[in-house]
């Protein structure tokens, strides 16, 4: 299924066997009943109470006499520990243990009477207690009230040494939250007792709230109060000392009732008023390490015909609301919607009806989110019991007492990608799979295989473009949190309340500042590279030269990229790439490195220049590597061999397939103006000559699809013999070459046509700077006497120019020149010009 739940804890497997072993040991020792293992008739009383920041799980159970036992499962050592026993028939509301396991806080109420439903009665007396448990000693009553109290110790980020002071939150059903400061001291060696237990300092943290959520991992309290019937979300951050700060308050466009009261992640909520809870909307806050802050909200609904829910992307400055039609009601479906945090995604699902995977990093493109409805296998395989998202990937099934890590199932998503026919699902799944980040090399190979078999099956976007851009983005994204603002993450991009703090709050503030002030141009694109590259190529054609140092620096950048790429790929390549200089692609590569480095240096404040330079090299190398991988996969699939480069043989179906893939790669990279591996154009052109009829070949050349590199044309001249068909090919290509390249290539072709071209070019060169001057002496006419007088005079001029500077006007390429043919060609040409 799309969601993979990895079990981290199971009451039935991790606790119950230990309890039974404890019971067996007590029986064997003759201790009789009353021990922690008397559970044969009370298994259903075993339940999870709380999960602390360090992963330790607190649970409770009752023996046959109704005594209440508290136990702890150590998440690191996988060991159980008995904490405390109340030898009274009480009902546990809440429980928390400090980090050192020296203090236990709990709130309890009178147990329900036999024959009555296991619910609290109005006016039930609630005792909130603080117990010294190292060793078991004093019990202090913190509160004795008629309303329910929930307790939670703070777990600050500090070293492993014991803290002299502990901090405890008390959350009251009367809609206030207090913080108690508890100093401890050690007596008689290792005995820990509460100091000044008669008076524990306390302070009010929040009041008049209707909803609160605890983030145990980050030690944050989110709560909502109503001001003039308007919901205001507030967040308090707790620190290692007793200090805490109100980080922000922001209005929410959600409807909450003052009569409602809901706690999230404060432990088992079975004792909250279920009638009120059923009328209370579902609401939760999710954050992650990138500085995202999402509020997921679903109002209470009376009809099962449709359901509406919203996601507020605080870090992006906007929200989205969705409505799903439910159709028939499945009796197995839990009453309520489930929101889960999955790193860069939020999952929203209702088993039997729909599964929605929302991209919270890039919510502006709704096509990057996956929405599935109906009775598909994906939906039916989701858990049917309500899950509570605790912090990060941790989710708890309160009913079964199981703790999971919720992850996206990369293998299943890949399989789904292969089978789906909808372009919107292909795009969402491609982005989702790449964001998982597990074993990227293997993952990229599988995606490339899928692309090669579905290259023409996608019409709404370019598969190769999206893959190259998205994969390159996710490969560099973990380096710094601001990459999503500075680098493109998709080929479809054209489709004041936070204080100055470090860590998460700094990242959230950065996100908000970006939303408030930034323009779309912060995302890097190759427009500057495009202009500069065209300028350099134009200057090269005109014979102009830019600063040698400037060009050398650009080409040095390209050398670094190729070295970086080769260092990461030790396996020999099948494709004949990187075997020629290909200065045009090296210039493009080097320019991209230069411009991207400048772009990141401008916008990535506080990141070392050396780190940015390496990130840029890694990014450009990744772009090239992905192109190489696509080509390698196609080459391997079709079992091509090096002799494909020889032109004196017929093309095979495999060569047609590889030529098609290369054309699609070229199409994808051209519009984004991305560099290609040196040698790509040569290989593409050779395959084009193999696979295309002459008129198609010339059409591809004239429209810039095939580039006539010197290496490709040189091979063509050498490999093709001078049959009538091949002469047409050679001549058609020679006349399309730039003049300088054409002159070089003509010297390789021993043919009258090439001789004619060489002669013309030589004469043109002689006459370019000719200034008519009186000549003191005439040449010896006997050796060049012809009957056509104008030609005699012309030859005299050319000879005179050559003799005036033999080194400058030396005739090159004479090996393939037929002198008689040149004379006849010149005479014919002159005759035509004179109309004779």
Q: How many CB atoms lie within 10 A of CB 389?
A: 23
> Which of 577-581, 736-740, 795-799 has the highest mean predicted lDDT (pLDDT)?
577-581
Q: Which of 338, 311, 296 is nearest to 5 (CA)?
A: 338
* Number of C-beta neighbours around residue 619 at 10 A: 23
Q: What is the pLDDT of residue 587?
A: 94
Q: What is the pLDDT of residues 433-444, one digit of tens each?
A: 998 877 888 899
What are the backbone angles phi and psi of residue 424, rounded to the nearest 5°? -60, -40
Q: Does the structure show a pLDDT above 50 at 834?
A: yes
Percentages of the chain per state (helix, strand, coil), in multiples of 5? 40, 25, 35
Higher pLDDT, 317 or 53: 53
**What three-state secondary structure class fits 299?**
coil
The predicted pLDDT at position 34 comes to 46
Instruction: Please say whether the dihedral angle defined by the alpha carbons of residues 451, 456, 458 and 461, taken in this order, is positive or negative.
Output: positive
Mean pLDDT on 425-452: 89
Whether 640 has a pLDDT exceeding 50, the answer reads: yes
Q: Does residue 664 register a pLDDT over 90?
A: yes
> Residue 548: its pLDDT value, please?
85
pLDDT tens, residue by residue, 753-788? 677 776 666 666 666 666 666 555 544 544 555 565
What pLDDT shows up at residue 124? 58
Contact 461, 492 (CB under 8 A): yes
- pLDDT tens string 503-562: 776 777 777 666 655 555 678 888 889 999 999 888 877 777 778 899 999 999 999 999
> CA–CA separation, 150 vs 170, rounded Å?
6
> Please, what sign has the CA dihedral across residues 418, 423, 424, 428?
positive
Q: What pLDDT sits at residue 285?
A: 95
Higher pLDDT, 616 or 504: 616
For 718-734, write each residue's pLDDT tens digit.
888 878 888 888 888 88
Structure tokens at 616: 């840029």
Pairing of strands 209-215, 262-264: parallel
CA dihedral angle for residue 740, residue 743, residue 744, residue 748, rounded to 10 degrees = 160
**Whole-Å CA distances, 584 to 541, 557, 588, 626:** 12, 13, 6, 20
Which residues, 6+ apart, have CB-to-CB distance to 698 below 8 Å? 732, 736
The contacts found for 565-568 with CB under 8 angstroms, 24 or more apart, are 565/621, 565/624, 565/625, 565/628, 568/621, 568/625
Closest residue by Cα to residue 755 from 812, 818, 810, 809:
818
pLDDT at 639: 87
Residue 373 gets which letter from DSSP?
E
Residues 77-120 pLDDT 10s? 999 999 999 888 888 999 999 999 999 999 998 766 554 433 43
The three-point CA angle 556-561-566 to 5° equals 125
Residue 810 burial by CB count (10 A; 0-12/13-18/19+): exposed, middle or buried?
exposed
Among candidates 93, 91, 193, which has minimal Cα distance to 133? 193
CB-based burial label for 709 (10 Å; 0-12, 13-18, 19+): buried
**Whether residue 633 has pLDDT greater than 70:** yes
Question: Is the model's pLDDT at 710 over the cut of 90?
Answer: no
| Listed residue (252, 243, 255, 355) closest to 299, CA to CA | 255
Rounded to two decimals, the pTM is 0.80
What residues form DSSP beta bridges with 396? 388, 403
pLDDT of residue 37: 47
Average pLDDT for 585-612: 91
Q: pLDDT confidence of 464, banded at 50, 70, 90?
A: very high
Give the H or E element holding residue 252: strand 244-252
In this structure, what token pair is assigned to residue 264? 């999230």
Q: Which residue has the tokens 């020792």?
A: 29
Q: What is the mean pLDDT of the chain?
A: 82
pLDDT digits (tens, 9 = 90+) for 160-175: 666 778 999 999 999 9
- The CA distances from residue 382 to 352, 354, 457, 562, 688, in Å, are 8, 10, 30, 46, 50
Region 602-621 average pLDDT: 91
Q: Which of 126-135, 325-334, 565-574, 577-586 has the lowest mean pLDDT?
A: 325-334
CB 601 within 8 Å of CB 612: yes
Question: For 404-420, what is the mean pLDDT?
Answer: 89
Res 374: pLDDT? 61
- 661 band by pLDDT with thresholds 50, 70 and 90: very high
Over 50: is that where the pLDDT of 798 sits? Answer: yes
pLDDT digits (tens, 9 = 90+) for 213-251: 999 999 999 999 987 778 899 999 998 877 899 999 998
Cis peptide bond upstream of 135, omega within 30: yes
pLDDT tens per residue, range 106-157: 999 876 655 443 343 455 578 999 999 988 888 999 998 888 999 999 998 7
> pLDDT above 70 covers what percent of the chain?
78
- The position carrying tokens 């989702």 is 432
CA distance 68 to 813: 102
């Amino acid at each position: 299924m799309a969601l993979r739940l990895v079990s981290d804890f199971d009451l039935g497997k991790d606790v119950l066997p230990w309890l039974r072993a404890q019971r067996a040991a007590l029986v064997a020792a003759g201790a009789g009943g009353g021990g922690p293992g008397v559970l044969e008739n009370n298994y259903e009383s075993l339940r999870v109470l709380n999960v602390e920041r360090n992963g330790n799980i607190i649970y409770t159970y009752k023996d046959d006499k109704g005594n209440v036992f508290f136990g702890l499962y150590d998440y690191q050592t996988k060991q159980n520990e008995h904490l405390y026993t109340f030898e009274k028939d009480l009902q546990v509301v809440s429980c928390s243990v400090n980090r050192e396991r020296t203090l236990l806080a709990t709130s309890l109420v009178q147990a329900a009477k036999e024959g009555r439903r296991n619910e609290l009665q109005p006016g039930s007396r609630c005792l909130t207690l603080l117990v010294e448990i190292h060793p078991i000693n004093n019990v202090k009553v913190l509160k004795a009230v008629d309303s329910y109290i929930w307790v939670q110790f703070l777990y600050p980020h500090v070293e492993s040494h014991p803290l002299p002071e502990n901090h405890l939150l008390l959350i009251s059903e009367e809609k206030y939250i207090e913080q108690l400061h508890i100093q401890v001291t050690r007596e008689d060696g290792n005995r820990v007792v509460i100091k000044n237990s008669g008076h524990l300092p306390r302070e009010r943290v929040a009041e008049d709230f209707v909803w609160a959520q605890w983030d145990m991992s980050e030690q944050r309290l989110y709560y909502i109060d109503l001001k003039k019937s308007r919901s205001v979300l507030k967040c308090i951050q707790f620190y290692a000392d007793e200090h805490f700060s109100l980080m922000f308050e922001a209005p929410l466009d959600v409807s909450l009732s003052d009569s409602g009261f809901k706690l999230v992640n404060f432990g088992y909520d079975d004792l909250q008023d279920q009638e009120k809870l059923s009328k209370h909307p579902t609401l939760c806050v999710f954050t992650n390490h990138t500085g995202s802050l999402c509020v997921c909200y679903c109002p209470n609904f009376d009809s099962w015909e449709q359901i509406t829910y919203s996601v507020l992307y605080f870090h992006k400055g906007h929200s989205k609301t969705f409505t799903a039609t439910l159709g028939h009601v499945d009796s197995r479906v839990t009453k309520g919607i489930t929101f889960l945090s999955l790193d860069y995604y939020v999952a929203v699902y209702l088993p039997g009806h729909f599964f929605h995977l929302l991209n919270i990093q890039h919510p502006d493109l709704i096509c990057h989110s996956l929405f599935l409805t109906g009775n598909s296998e994906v939906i039916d395989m989701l858990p049917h019991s309500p899950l509570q998202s605790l912090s990060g990937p941790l989710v708890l099934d309160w009913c079964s007492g199981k703790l999971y890590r919720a992850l996206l199932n990369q293998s299943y998503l890949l399989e789904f990608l292969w089978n789906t026919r909808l372009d919107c699902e292909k795009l969402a799944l491609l982005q989702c799979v790449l964001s998982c980040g597990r074993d990227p090399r293997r993952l990229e190979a599988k995606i490339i295989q899928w692309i090669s078999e579905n290259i023409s099956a996608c019409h709404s976007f370019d598969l190769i473009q999206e893959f190259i851009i998205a994969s390159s983005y996710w490969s560099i994204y973990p380096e710094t949190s601001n990459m999503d603002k500075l680098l493109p993450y998709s080929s479809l991009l054209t489709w004041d309340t936070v204080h100055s703090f470090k860590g998460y709050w700094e990242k959230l503030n950065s996100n908000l500042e970006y939303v408030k002030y930034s323009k779309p141009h912060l995302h890097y694109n190759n427009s500057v590279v495009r202009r500069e590259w065209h300028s350099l190529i134009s200057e090269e054609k005109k014979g102009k030269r830019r600063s040698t140092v400037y060009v050398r620096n650009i080409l040095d950048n390209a050398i670094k990229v190729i070295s970086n790429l080769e260092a990461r790929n030790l396996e020999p390549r099948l494709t004949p790439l990187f075997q020629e200089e290909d200065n045009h692609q090296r210039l493009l590569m080097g320019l991209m490195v230069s411009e991207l480095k400048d772009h990141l240096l401008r916008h990535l404040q506080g990141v070392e220049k050396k780190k940015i330079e390496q990130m840029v090299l890694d990014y450009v190398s990744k772009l090239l590597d992905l192109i190489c991988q696509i080509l390698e996969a196609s080459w391997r699939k079709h079992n091509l061999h090096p002799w494909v480069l020889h032109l004196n043989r017929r093309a095979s179906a495999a060569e047609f397939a590889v030529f098609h893939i290369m054309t699609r790669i070229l199409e994808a990279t051209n519009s984004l103006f991305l560099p290609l591996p040196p040698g790509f154009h040569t290989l593409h052109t050779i395959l084009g000559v193999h696979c295309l009829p002459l008129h198609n070949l010339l059409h591809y050349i004239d429209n810039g699809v095939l580039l006539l590199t010197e290496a490709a044309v040189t091979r063509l001249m050498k490999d093709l013999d001078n049959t009538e068909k091949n002469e047409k090919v050679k001549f058609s290509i020679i006349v399309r070459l730039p003049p300088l390249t054409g002159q070089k290539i003509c010297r390789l072709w021993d043919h009258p046509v090439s001789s004619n071209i060489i002669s013309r070019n030589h004469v043109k060169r002689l006459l370019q700077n000719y200034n008519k001057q009186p000549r003191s002496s005439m040449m010896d006419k006997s050796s060049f006497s012809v009957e056509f007088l104008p030609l005699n005079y012309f030859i005299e001029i050319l000879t005179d120019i050559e003799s005036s500077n033999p080194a400058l006007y030396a005739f090159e390429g004479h090996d393939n020149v037929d002198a008689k043919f040149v004379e006849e060609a010149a005479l014919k040409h002159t005759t035509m010009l004179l109309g004779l």
